[in-house]
Chain A
Amino acid sequence: MAKHHGDGHHDGHNAFDVSSKVSEFEILELAVRELAIEKGIFSAEDHRRFAEWAEGVGPHGGSKLVAKAWSDPAFKQRLLENGTEACKEVGIDWLQPTGVGTPSDYTFFYVLENTPQVHNVIVCTLCSCYPRPVLGMSPDWYRTPSYRRRMVRRPREVLAEFGLHLPADVEVRVHDSNQKSRFMVMPMRPEGTEGWSEEQLARIVTRDTMIGVALPRADRTSDAGSLAEQAR
């Protein structure tokens, strides 16, 4: 397996794709990557190492952090005081995969706690900085100029598009991650979750609730679910 990556001509991962038709974009992506490797811009091993890391990260990391914080006040305190350190307790190391983080993730992580008075939401107007070690790859819409431009300018309108209408007495606080810090929202624990285990809680802490465009609900375990609901 590892040998396949060394020559830059063979991508072992594609061997696992069993879909009958190969998409043109799969082909384009691989072609661009192989040309870059042939030109010596980076090595197949650089790519493999990073891809392995990217596959391991996802919103499950953030969900775990929030569920643990909801269940353990001392952990919550540590998480709010030093996000990067507290992440290590659930096995998330911001220094991965290079030892100094990735070029676009850096290593300064702050958790924003929602309260009955303040609702936090994250955006990166300059590019699309995103807390990947805890949330994985950003959703497509997060990277669009439409979200980036409008979230800082008309946050309530954009939130409404996501089905989130906040009461007038709540302050909407937008965090534009323009420098080295990365942020994640810690939503409030919803009603109807009394006595739940951390595993149960983690299931309702979806990606969108940690970006701040949705609120967790005891009966909702996926962002896609709410999308389907909306379409109905």
Chain B
Amino acid sequence: MARPKFQVGDTVRIKDRTTLFHTRTQKFIRKRVGTIVEHRPEWVIPEDEAWDRMETGRKEPFYVIRFKQTELWPDYTGLAHDTLETEASESWLEAVKG
């Protein structure tokens, strides 16, 4: 069991990796900055799950990341305090110096 690299409260950026392969990391959160709000268990990453490697696939810690809507959508029409939460595996995240 790898120890999670990030802690609740950390600021992270979602990497902009190429996605020739199956992934569940949405396009609209890539390159965006958010805050870790919760840890999730270690799961087989979707990139490996797609190859039917539930047993042997790589496992990574997962996180819940909260974004300001205005960070995701420059033209956001709602209110500044509106947010969106979603999950990502550790290798999709990079630390942002606070």
Say whether A101 faces chain B, with CB atoms less than 8 Å apart: no
A174 contact set on B, CB distance < 8 A? 69, 82-85
Given A108-B40, A153-B73, A155-B78, check contact A175 B85 (CB 8 Å).
yes
Proximity bits, A177-196, B CB within 8 Å = 1, else 0? 11111000000000000000
Are A171 and B26 in contact, CB atoms less than 8 angstroms apart? no
Say whether A227 faces chain B, with CB atoms less than 8 Å apart: no
B26, B40, B79: most-surrounded residue (chain A CB, <10 A): B79
Instruction: Count residues of chain B with CB under 8 A from any CB of chain A.
Output: 26
Least distance between A62 CB and chain B CB atoms (Å)? 20
Are B87 and A179 in contact, CB atoms less than 8 angstroms apart? yes
Q: Once bound together, how far apart are the Cα atoms of A222 and B26, in whole Å? A: 34
Say whether A90 faces chain B, with CB atoms less than 8 Å apart: no
Are A178 and B78 in contact, CB atoms less than 8 angstroms apart? no
Say whether A224 faces chain B, with CB atoms less than 8 Å apart: no
Least distance between B83 CB and chain A CB atoms (Å)? 5
B43, B82, B85, B86: most-surrounded residue (chain A CB, <10 A): B86
Say whether A36 faces chain B, with CB atoms less than 8 Å apart: no
Q: Once bound together, how far apart are the Cα atoms of A177 and B64, in whole Å? A: 10
Q: Once bound together, how far apart are the Cα atoms of A126 and B27, in whole Å? A: 10
Given A156-B82, A157-B77, A168-B79, check contact A178 B43 (CB 8 Å).
no
- Residues of A with Cβ closer than 8 Å to B? 108, 125-126, 152-157, 168, 171-181
* Seed contacts A152-B72, A174-B85; 17 additional CB < 8 Å A-B pairs: A125-B26, A126-B24, A126-B26, A153-B73, A155-B69, A157-B77, A171-B83, A172-B82, A173-B66, A174-B82, A175-B85, A177-B87, A179-B43, A179-B46, A179-B62, A179-B87, A180-B87
